[in-house]
Structure 1
Amino acid sequence: MRTYVIGDIHGHRDKLQAAHRLIAKDRAEQGDANAPVVHLGDLVDRGPDSRGVVDCLLAGLEHGEPWVVLKGNHDRMFSGFLDDPDYHDPGLRAELNWTHPRLGGAETLASYGVTGVGETFLSDIAAQARLKVPVAHRDFLAGLETSFARGQALFVHAGIRPGVPVERQTETDLVWIRAPFLEDTRDHGVLVVHGHTPVEQVTHYGNRLNVDTGAGYGKALSAIVVEGQVAWLLTPRGRVPLRHE
């Protein structure tokens, strides 16, 4: 039950394409062209080419690639802003909004040719964005799934609320949760593969596997392969085992 995984992309199309090349290399070595590739969300924000990332993913899916693309909190904030410039995501601190410099919304808008963030009313920015962001992109982002289960693994953006069945998890927890999940050491019944909280290197904690290595902050975008509950980091030199902490 082989599954490939790519962590939080954050607008880095070049890093996304490099991750896909690593996966293609491993596919060829394993003789497996059908195992899915799960993208863990946060497709947009902070990086220079969020539009290019969405274009790349849409093109692959239209071509029939066995890709799964999950929703991250940044993707949800982008969709919310396009629907309503006053939208405030329930997982976001009250004093922040999606266009705040810490969150990277301005970089996403710039990749679509939207200008004036921080210089004019949000309603004007949103009106401009609705004209420049293709409907296909809006529909794609709004329709992303929040989890994907395969074999002995569950793939989500941020994590799960411990002790709550998968079917009762809220979308906000799946795309935003941190402390209650990150601090829990119990067996969740599956290996939870997630991103959202950057770490220095892909880390296997036994009950969960964190794949976000900080692409949104200029660091690496990691690609891994999971077989059962065993995982490897993909590198130009081949697989590197990811051992439990």
Structure 2
Amino acid sequence: MTQTLYAIGDIHGQLGMLETALAQIDVDGGRNARVVFLGDYVDRGPDSKGVIDTLVRGLADGRDWVCLKGNHDRFFEWYLDPEGPRFDPHLLVGYHWFHQAIGGTETIASYDVYLPDRIRKTDLAELLHAAVPDTHKAFLRGLKTAHHQDGRFFAHAGIRPGVPLDQQAENDLLWIRQEFHSDKRDHGALVVHGHTPVDAPERYANRINLDTGAGYGRPLTVAGFEGEDVFILTANGRKHLPSRS
């Protein structure tokens, strides 16, 4: 019998939504179900710490969870670099982790660290180092960038078309958008991703987008994969996700 596989889109600090999603999976597939998390656990929402703590505890309890890295998780990881805070050069000029559009301020607030009007980056990093548990730091460092299983390739943002799946660059897996979205080719696997918020989960012949904007207060999406079938978990059970092409 084919194993049912589940995937959860971008969470962005929404602990309550995550708890609901996990409860739905437990009902549908049981506590031993494999779940792939597509990254972006932090920023924007109110409880990034609670989200990471839930994932850390679940992994420690032996849950069959695969946690992938999102670009927002890398913002957090890099700010905690032991050599000093690092910033992602892929951000647009004028943006940074603590920009109101990015959401790092909400993340550090969940650890009871608050951004004053004036503080050196290194001093803030020291405060954050003291506040973030070592288990959370290890979680961020240990995140995978992709997961390939049963003809499906899971990555936070997508892939670079034309590049073999086992040779994808981390920056593309975390950041790519238009070049991937507009490419209609068969990529050798169905690519399941998030990163780009949409109003509802989108299924195409070569990719599925599960980021439905939880970071902006919209729903968190849970998808299930069973053979060729793709479904969304709702409060009323499974709902088939039809392909748009």
Given the two structures, how large is their TM-score scaled by the length of structure 1?
0.94
Could you say which residue in structure 1 is the equivalent of 2:241? 242
State whether residues 15 and 221 of structure 1, in contact with CA within 8 Å, keep that contact through their aligned partners in structure 2. Answer: yes
Which among 17, 23, 28 is matched to residue 26 of structure 1? 28
| Counterpart among 45, 48, 63 of residue 47 in structure 1 | 45
Aligned to 1:17: 19
Shift in alpha-carbon separation, 1:156–1:117, aligned structure 2, 3 A: farther
- Matched with 2:7 is 5
CA drift at 1:167:
1.5
Q: For 2:77 and 2:209, how far apart are their aligned partners in 1?
A: 25
In the alignment, the residues of structure 1 paired with residue 173 and residue 97 of structure 2 have an alpha-carbon distance, to the nearest angstrom, of: 19
Amino acid at match of 1:27: G
Runs of 4+ in 1 over 4 A off after TM superposition: none
* C-alpha contact (below 8 Å) 1:90/1:172 kept by paired residues: no
Structure 2: 5+ residue stretches without partners: none
The separation in 1 between residues aligned to 2:59 and 2:32, in whole angstroms, is: 13
- Determine the structure 1 residue equivalent to 2:195: 196
1:77-125 Cα distance to aligned partner (Å, 9 max, x none): 1110111665221321232111111100000000001112543222221
For the 8 Å contact 2:4–2:29, the answer to whether it is kept is no
Q: Matches of 1:101 and 1:34 in 2, distance apart? A: 38
1:233 aligns with 2:232: yes
The partner residue of 2:59 within 54, 58, 61 is 61
Counterpart contact for 1:99–1:117, Cα < 8 Å: no
Structural RMSD (CA): 1.3
Q: 8 Å contact 2:44–2:215 — kept in the other structure?
A: yes
Instruction: Report if aligned partners of 1:202, 1:222 keep a CA contact under 8 Å in 2.
Output: yes
Give the Cα–Cα distance (whole angstroms) in 2 for the partners of residues 35 and 130 of structure 1. Answer: 34
Asked whether the equivalents of residues 159 and 174 of structure 1 are also in contact (C-alpha less than 8 Å), the reply is yes
User: Which residues in structure 2 correspond to 1:75-224 (within 5 Å)?
Assistant: 75-83=73-81, 86-224=85-223
Q: Is the CA contact 1:6–1:39 (under 8 Å) kept in the aligned structure 2?
A: yes
Moved more, 118-127 or 195-204: 118-127
3-state SS of the aligned residue for 1:11? coil
- Residue correspondences, number: 241
Q: What's the secondary structure of 1:157's corresponding residue?
A: coil
Identity of aligned residues (%): 49
**C-alpha distance in structure 1 between counterparts of 2:146 and 2:19, whole Å:** 23
CA distance in 2: counterparts of 1:183 and 1:102, whole angstroms: 25
SS at match of 2:123: helix
Which amino acid in 2 is paired with 1:94?
Answer: V
Q: Secondary structure at the match of 2:90?
A: coil
Instruction: Give CA-to-partner distance per residue, 1:104-157, whole Å, 9 cap, x none.
Output: 000000000111254322222111001111111111101100001110111110
The answer to whether the 8 Å contact 1:191/1:229 transfers is no
- 8 Å CA contact 1:22–1:235 kept in 2: the answer is yes
CA distance in 2, matches of 1:117, 1:148: 39
TM-score, length basis structure 2:
0.94
Structure 1 residue runs of 5 or longer lacking an equivalent are none
